[in-house]
């Protein structure tokens, strides 16, 4: 039996989008049906222009906007967001805040949840952001999956790299100048595969 995976992200400068693509790629390798979706932007265009984010966001303008009500259709939900002081962005939080009806009906109980992130610096809150995002999964009664240490790239020390057992990650740099590395993208693919494998097993029950 196959499973349906929703990879849902917020990205301002494209770093989390690139991770999301790799997460989705890994999930597809398991033979699952994968949707790549983004949460709605809450900032006005003039603010995005001042941030220098408008041009970067054109790279994923084609990605559909996620609908909180459609989370119930997925067997696994993988969320990606940059950090904001050790937690998810306001855009991602607004999306999650719109899921009260799913919580009250228990619609997501037993589904798989996982998260990935980006930070400006090497120790900029990656793990706290992933753990903070996981509280959504706990409250929804979901099964939480991260990245197992069978993923050799987690232990690669020859270069600075994101990647945690709580979820994949990348280091964007203080000006967003650093793009996800091959090692970081490999961890993201491993996360997608791992989540999809679990989702398939649970869907078969």
Q: For residue range 130-164, what is the model confidence (pLDDT) as tens digits? A: 999 999 999 999 999 999 999 999 999 999 999 99
Question: Nearest-5° angle of CA 156, CA 20, CA 92?
Answer: 115
pLDDT over 80 (residue 108): yes
Residue 50: count other Cβ atoms within 10 Å of its Cβ.
11
Q: Phi first, then psi: give them for residue 148, nearest 5 degrees.
A: -70, 155
d(CA 150, CA 204): 24
pLDDT of residue 1: 64
User: Would you mind telling me the total number of residues written for the chain in this entry?
Assistant: 205
| CB 143 within 8 Å of CB 163 | no
Tokens of 29: 């390798």
d(CA 102, CA 202): 20
d(CA 205, CA 200): 9
Mean pLDDT, rounded, for 49-55: 87
Q: For residue range 13-34, what is the model confidence (pLDDT) as tens digits? A: 999 999 999 999 999 999 999 9
Percent of the chain whose pLDDT exceeds 70: 100
pLDDT of residue 55: 85
Angle between helices 15-28 and 182-203 (to 10 degrees): 50
pLDDT of residue 56: 86
pLDDT of residue 2: 85
Radius of gyration of the chain (CA): 16
Tokens of 20: 């999301």
Candidate from 47-56, 111-120, 132-141, 189-198 with smallest mean pLDDT: 47-56
d(CA 137, CA 120): 25
Average pLDDT value over all residues in the chain = 96
Q: In what helix (H) or strand (E) does residue 143 lie, and over which residues does it extend?
A: strand 143-144
């Amino acid at each position: 039996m196959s499973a349906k995976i929703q990879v849902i992200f917020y990205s301002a400068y494209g770093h989390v989008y690139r991770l999301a693509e790799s997460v989705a790629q890994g999930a597809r390798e398991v033979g699952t049906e994968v949707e790549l979706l983004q949460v709605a932007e809450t900032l006005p265009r003039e603010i995005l222009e001042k941030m220098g984010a408008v041009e970067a966001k054109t790279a994923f303008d084609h990605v559909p906007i996620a609908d909180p009500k459609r989370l119930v259709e997925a067997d696994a939900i993988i969320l990606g967001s940059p950090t904001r002081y050790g937690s998810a962005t306001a855009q991602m939080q607004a999306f999650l805040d719109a899921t009260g009806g799913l919580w009250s009906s228990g619609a997501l109980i037993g589904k798989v949840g996982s998260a990935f992130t980006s930070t400006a610096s090497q120790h900029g809150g990656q793990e706290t952001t992933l753990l903070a995002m996981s509280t959504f999964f706990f409250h929804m009664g979901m099964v939480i999956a991260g990245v197992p240490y069978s993923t050799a790239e987690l232990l690669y020390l020859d270069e600075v790299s994101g990647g945690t057992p709580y979820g994949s990650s990348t280091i964007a740099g203080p000006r967003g100048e650093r793009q996800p590395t091959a090692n970081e993208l490999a961890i993201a693919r491993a996360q997608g595969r791992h989540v999809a494998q679990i989702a398939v097993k649970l869907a078969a029950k």
